Amino acid sequence: MKSMYKDKELEYIIGESLLKNNLTISTAESCTGGMVAAKLISYPGISASYLEGVITYSNEAKVKRLGVREETLLKYGAVSEQTAKEMANGIARVSESKAAISTTGLAGPGGGSVEKPVGLVYIGVHLEEETVVKKFNFSGERDQIRKEATVMALTMLKDLLEEKGYL
């Protein structure tokens, strides 16, 4: 983080940038269950930028609310780079927001496998015409994984805002 941001929380850096640049944002969360939205909403005045958030925990909800393709879910699974990208693009499209964040993963304690262990999280960040997805392997208990995924999602958005010249 640049020194000028040193004493500010991520949600404040992001909130200021979104408002200053007239950017709108929406969120589509699975494993974080609304934690990303809650962090963003803690910024005073964010209602001018934050349009909506959905928690699409089931595959059915991902398809119905976000337009994630059933073929994507069948071929790659809900916890995948492809699904995270379709979630981010889907919430941006349905809400007509310039920015979007998606999270999908396995927070545990159960449900993991050798191929997809507990702690595996994919985060998608969409800004204007670009969507970036990153894979993470967090460790710890369920709440710790969810918190780390939330911080990383916000960090990814901050980095993309900075890269695009909005910070």
- With contact defined as beta carbons under 8 Å apart, do 24 and 97 qualify? yes
What Å distances lie between residue 9 and 48, 98, 121, 155, 162, CA to CA? 19, 22, 22, 10, 15
By CB atoms closer than 10 A (0-12, 13-18, 19+), residue 28 is buried
Residue 100, both tokens:
């979007």
> Do the domain assignments include residue 23?
yes
In a domain, 89, yes or no: yes
In a domain, 2, yes or no: no
Residue 5 has a pLDDT of 54
Closest C-alpha among 103, 56, 100 to residue 81: 103
pLDDT of the residue at 133: 98
Residue 64 maps to which CATH number?
A: 3.90.950.20
Q: Residue 8's pLDDT is what?
A: 81
Q: Is residue 19 part of a domain?
A: yes
CB 98 within 8 A of CB 24: yes
4 belongs to a structural domain: no
Q: What is the pLDDT along the chain (167 residues), one digit of tens a residue?
A: 343 555 689 999 999 999 999 999 999 999 999 999 999 999 999 999 999 999 999 999 999 999 999 999 999 999 999 999 999 999 999 999 999 999 999 999 998 898 999 999 999 999 999 999 999 999 999 999 999 999 999 999 999 999 999 99
Instruction: Tell me which residue range forms the domain holding 91.
Output: 9-163
Residue 3 lies in a domain: no
Any domain includes 1 = no
Going 72 to 78 to 80 to 84, the CA torsion angle's sign is: positive
Number of structural domains in the chain: 1
Token digits for 34? 């609304």
